[in-house]
Amino acid sequence: MKKPKINGDMCMKCGACVGSCPVNAMFLREYIVEVNDDCTGCGLCKKICPVGAVTQEE
């Protein structure tokens, strides 16, 4: 499973990944985006990220 990894230095906390997550596994906190265990590793969050802050672990 390729769980997303969010680079906190690049992340703008914009919520683009949160709103587009097909299984609602991402949450926008005030200073961080969290990913829970519902994540299926589909990679949409990586694709949508406006600044490229999301990578996927192999």
Question: Could you tell me where the beta strands, DSSP code E, fall in the chain?
Answer: 4-6, 26-28, 33-35, 54-56
Residue 28 CB, nearest approach to other proteins (Å):
6
Nearest approach in angstroms of CB 1 to other proteins is: 18
Number of residues counted as binding other proteins (CB under 8 A): 25
Could you tell me if 1 and 40 are in contact, meaning their C-beta atoms sit under 8 angstroms apart? yes
Task: Fill in the amino acid letter for 15.
Answer: G
User: Collapsing DSSP states into helix, strand and coil, what is residue 14?
Assistant: coil
Closer residue to other proteins in complex, CB, 1/50 = 50
Residues 5-34 close enough to bind other proteins by CB under 8 A: 12-16, 18-24, 27-30
